[in-house]
């Protein structure tokens, strides 16, 4: 795992590729100075106070809220298998593409909520995170 990187990020709101379709909540792209993790690895970035776990699965990037929906352990430290990350604290599992809870023992699942997802891209060698306005309760 890479070390936590909480350094300043660059707001790409005016970037020419920041072209959210009309009528949808606008996504602002934040370019971090965190390198894209290699395939099979993960890292953590903080953008606008939000910690995001970044996973590289076979060259495709996924972003989830870092904080586990059970008791808040850092999901970037979990293990990835079959499109889901397993929290290394108590074993709750979350789909990388939706953040929904898909595994863990019954006691853990009962007290676990889904986690927010983020659109993530590589921009050059670094990670860029798409940030949408927070919805109620997130």
Footprint on this chain of ligand FES (rule: CB under 6 A): 68, 70-73, 87, 89-92, 108
Find the helix or strand (DSSP H, E) in which 110 lies: helix 106-110
For residue 54, the minimal CB distance to ligand FES (Å) is 18
Closest CB to ligand FES among residues 29, 94 = 94
Name which of 36 and 85 has its Cβ closer to ligand FES. 85
Q: What's CA 122's distance to the chain center, in Å?
A: 13
CB of 99 to ligand FES, least distance (A): 13
CB 43 within 8 A of CB 61: no
Name the minimum Å distance from CB 115 to ligand FES: 10
Contact present, 84 and 94 (Cβ < 8 Å): yes
For ligand FES, the closer of residues 4 and 73 by Cβ is 73
Closest approach of ligand FES to the CB of residue 77, in Å:
10
Instruction: Pick between residue 104 and residue 130 the one whose CB is nearest to ligand FES.
Output: 104
Helix (H, G, I), strand (E, B) or coil at 130: strand
Contacts of the segment 72-78: beta carbons below 8 A, 24+ positions apart: 74/44, 75/115, 76/1, 76/42, 76/43, 76/44, 77/1, 77/42, 78/42
């Amino acid at each position: 795992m890479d070390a936590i990187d909480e350094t300043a990020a660059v707001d790409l709101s005016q970037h020419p590729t920041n072209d959210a379709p009309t009528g949808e909540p606008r996504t602002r792209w934040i370019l971090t100075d965190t390198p894209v993790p290699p395939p099979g690895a993960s890292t953590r970035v903080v953008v606008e106070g939000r910690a995001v776990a970044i996973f590289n699965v076979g060259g495709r990037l996924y972003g989830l809220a870092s904080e586990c929906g059970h008791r808040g352990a850092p999901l970037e430290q979990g293990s990835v298998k079959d499109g889901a990350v397993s929290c290394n604290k108590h074993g709750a599992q979350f789909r990388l593409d939706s953040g929904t809870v898909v595994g863990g023992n019954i006691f853990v699942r009962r007290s676990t909520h889904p986690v927010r997802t983020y659109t993530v891209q590589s921009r050059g060698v670094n990670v860029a995170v798409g940030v949408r306005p927070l919805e109620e309760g997130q």
